Amino acid sequence: MAVSFSSAAKAEICRGFPQKKCCAVAQCFGILLYCNCFTAESIRIITESREFGQMIPKLFRKAFSLQFDVLPEEDASGKLVFQMTDRSKIETIMRAYGFSPKDTLALHVNLPVVEEDCCRGAFLRGAYLAGGSVTDPEKGYHLEMTTTHASVSRETYALMQEVLGFYPKSAPRGGGQVLYIKQSDKIFDTLTYLGAPVSA
């Protein structure tokens, strides 16, 4: 089966594994804020990327010394589902990001987690791997990242301007918030920054 351009870009990004624990924590933060579900009851990450699927358990082990409660089968095809439902594990993760599971969660980018330059890059890589895609340049120029949390989208918007030097565009879509880039040179810069220079 042919690998899509977007899948190839994600595979390339996954070749860079965070060496420092602070970066692993920041990358997990990006994943959690852009994944399918991050609540006090459940964490659920769904991906079709094999490479990202191989990275997820290692990343959470490095960041939190925790394992997922549900992992995809070894030979699973299609979508890979990673799930955590153990309340104590979720509480450990939430506290690492300054959230209390007992509060009504209004998720946002907790700035101390992305204070260092290396951690900002790790956070954006996680956000892109969990909630991003890029169109094959032969068909058009479009890179996007989608989250269901409006405040997370606004804060990522500011973060991207800080590290990349330009603002993405922003638009609501189906209950979520999309950050997107349509200029080829800016997509090039973004993919290079995220760790996919070959795709760029």
pLDDT at position 103, please?
A: 66
The per-residue pLDDT for 189 is: 95
Taking the C-alpha atoms of residue 59 and residue 44, their distance in angstroms, rounded to an integer, is 15
Q: Would you state the pLDDT for residue 1?
A: 43
> Which residues in the chain come in under a pLDDT of 70?
1-2, 103-105
Three-state DSSP state, 178:
strand
> Which whole-number Å values give the CA distances from 76 to 50, 53, 73, 86, 197, in the listed order?
10, 11, 5, 23, 29
- Give the model's pLDDT for residue 2: 53
Contact 168, 179 (CB under 8 A): yes
- Per residue in 11-55, pLDDT (tens digit) is 999 999 999 999 999 999 999 999 999 998 999 999 999 999 999
Detail the DSSP E strand segments found in 63-183. 80-84, 132-134, 143-147, 169-173, 176-181
